[in-house]
Structures are given as C-alpha cells and as structure tokens.
Amino acid sequence: MNEALIIREITIADAACAAQLSAEFGYPQSKETMERRIACLQNRTDHAIFLACLDQTAVGWIDVGIVHHLQSKPYGEIGGFVVSEKYRNTGIGKQLIARAETWMREQGLRRALVRSRVAREAAHRFYLREGYVHVKTSAVFEKELRGE
C-alpha cells in the first residue's frame, strides 16, 4: 500500500461513505440516517468514531464507546468496525483498532470488549491476532419496543 493512511474523527460530511461502508458490513443505512447518528455521537465525550482514509477515500471506520454498568467497572466497547473488502488484510484494520485502543486508554479505561457474530470467523481470527481473548459465547435476545 503506497498511499498514506489517515485516521481521523468522523464528520457529518462523511455520512455517505460511512453508510456505504456500513452496507459492506451488512448493515445498510441511508446517508440521512448516518448524518443524524454522526451528529448525535460526534460531540459526546464517552464515544468516538474514527474514519480511515486513503487519498481522500474512506476505507474503514471504527465506533467505540464507554460502557457503564452497575456490576462492573467502566470498559471500552467497539460497537462497529469495518474495512472495505478491497482493503482488507492491508493493515488498515490493525491501525483502526490501535487508534480505538489509544482513545480508550486516554479515557482511563483498562479493558476493551468487542462482540462479533459467530459466522464472522475471519474477524475472530483478526481479534485473536490483535491480542483479544475469546471469553464467552452468548445468546442475544431482542424485543421490539412499541408505544402503548
């Protein structure tokens, strides 16, 4: 890879490329939805989204936040992470993870967590190579909340 990689915080102007990458990740979103989400999250001190760019082209993003629960110390959680298929296995993911981990340490956190679907075996191998440990397998339950 000859181009210089830049990792920076996401802006609302990045919504279209973030949506395109999200679709590659399996979560299609409209540009407008991404604009609203970026606007909501970009100024929070407990959340960060970093965008990886090669020659002005967005090639990946990582979404990280601080999680607070009564039963445990706060920890950092990677909520979303994608590198464009064209640029996978080039070191971009490694650099995005490193940037997210640096942010977590800057927030005083000492533990990072990431959840990954069972079927994403390549992602699992990546996380293991990056020093993450598989600590449990869980069932995830969801309920649609409707107004009364």
Of the candidates 79, 100, 99, 90, the residue with the CA atom closest to the CA atom of residue 126: 90
**74 or 119, greater pLDDT:** 74
Give the lowest-confidence range in 66-70, 78-82, 116-120: 116-120
> pTM of the entire structure?
0.91
Burial of residue 22 (number of CB atoms within 10 Å: 0-12, 13-18, 19+): buried
Q: In terms of CATH architecture, what is 5-114?
A: 3-Layer(aba) Sandwich (3.40)
CA atoms within 13 A on the CB side of 107: 25
Are 81 and 72 in contact, with CB atoms under 8 Å apart? Answer: no
Average pLDDT over residues 87-110: 96
Measure the CA–CA gap between 29 and 144, rounded to whole angstroms: 19
User: Domain locations in the chain?
Assistant: 5-114
Return the pLDDT at 140: 87
Q: Predicted confidence band at 87 (pLDDT cuts at 50, 70, 90)?
A: very high
How high is the mean pLDDT of the chain? 94
Contact of 64 with 104, CB cutoff 8 Å: yes
Confidence label for 101 from pLDDT (cuts 50, 70 and 90) = very high
Identify whether the C-beta of residue 41 lies closer than 8 Å to the C-beta of residue 74: no
Q: Give the tens place of pLDDT for each residue, 12-35.
A: 999 999 999 999 888 999 999 999
Higher pLDDT, 119 or 48: 48
Count CA within 13 A, CB hemisphere, residue 16.
2
Is a pLDDT exceeding 80 seen at residue 1?
A: no
Q: What confidence score (pLDDT) does residue 74 get? A: 97
What is the band of 148 on the pLDDT scale with cuts at 50, 70, 90?
confident
Is the model's pLDDT at 108 over the cut of 70?
yes
Q: Report whether pLDDT(2) > 90.
A: no
